[in-house]
Chains A and B, each alone.
Chain A
Amino acid sequence: MAIECKTAFGLLLEAEPAELAGQGDSELANHVRECTRCGAVAARLLAGQGELAGALDGLSPRADVEEALSITRARRRRIGWRRHGWRVAAPLAAAAALTALFLVRPPDGRMPGEVVLLPAPRIEPAVEAPLAQNVMVFETQDRSAKVIWFY
């Protein structure tokens, strides 16, 4: 035995699983093969790691794979709708809005949003003739314009 048990014990805590199994030509592997006590420790360590691996293997996802696939499909549809749904939704919304505009007319028959020109209020111009002159006011076809003649 090239190394002592105390040294071997320290090495056992970090050794490769193969060395714990006494495989290979390292000093530790040789020691594990030859020393009963260290061999028992190494065997226990390997068994413990095996128990841990087995316990972890026994931990499965709560959803089985078919359920997970079904959830995945549903999530993909939702994501797809969020990303690309506007391409369908926007034209549909526009079409619905236009339909509503034509179907739901107000009682006065005008279309919503239609621009209506109200007649401008008539305001008689207060014109005073300058000294020694007369004044005449003429209406024009354009009701917003008048001709004022001083003579």
Chain B
Amino acid sequence: MSELTRIGDGISALVRGAQAGDEAAFERLVRRFYEQIYRWALARTGDRDDADDVTQEVLVRLHRHLPSFDGRSAFSTWLYQVTRSAAADLFRKRARRERLTLKLVREARPESHDPRGDEEVTDERRASDLVRVFLEELSDRQREVFDLVDLQGFGPVEVSVMLGMEPVTVRSHLFRARKAIRRRILENCPELVEGYGD
């Protein structure tokens, strides 16, 4: 039996237990997927506070809707749909713009001197700059697809099922996202791109 099959079987057993009302199985299932749900929510919303809210909402919905999971799709695929749905509802309810405005005001405050070494700070700034591009400059779809395929290792076909998109659309979003992220990566290394021309 492969490692992947064993993991899948373990999840199936937890799902069945939770569906039968076993609270301990439900909690183990949550522990297993908690960080994953948050990551999906973050990629979906592009905002850490929203991702926290969505994650919490997903846990409640997971308990309520788990009996309706019939096992026709992978559990992770089904859970991803629950996360997307919770995020969509959050967007409807919340005036997200207000929060972004507050965030911009906070970020506009002058930075204090960082006592760490310049190189460490530069690496961290470079990474946080990429995170900012990822969260704020990619469209919701681009961010979602790029995160699932390139950063989390889901296959494009699996992602097309998860998102209810044609595979060709998934690839289109993926390419645009890659371009945006990779251009930003190279902006920090001008010496590497010298001589390529436009």
Contact = CB atoms under 8 A, between A and B. Distances in A.
Contact of A72 (B35, B56, B147): B56
Q: How many residues of A sit at the interface, in one of the four size bands?
A: 35 or more
A40 B147 CA distance: 24
B154 to A, nearest CB: 13
Which 7 A-B pairs have CB atoms at the shortest separation, nearest pair first?
A48-B185, A55-B127, A72-B59, A52-B130, A61-B38, A65-B34, A51-B127
A60 to B, nearest CB: 7
A13 B52 contact: no
Interface of B: 27, 30-31, 34-35, 38-39, 42, 48, 51-52, 55-56, 59-60, 63-64, 123, 126-128, 130-131, 134, 147, 150-151, 175, 178-179, 181-183, 185-186, 188-189, 192-193, 195-197
Task: State the main secondary structure of chain A at its contact with B.
Answer: helix
Interface in A35-79: 37, 40-41, 44-45, 48-49, 51-57, 59-63, 65, 68-69, 71-72, 75-76, 79
B185 A45 contact: yes
A60 B39 CA distance: 8
Contacts of A54: 127
A134 B130 CA distance: 117
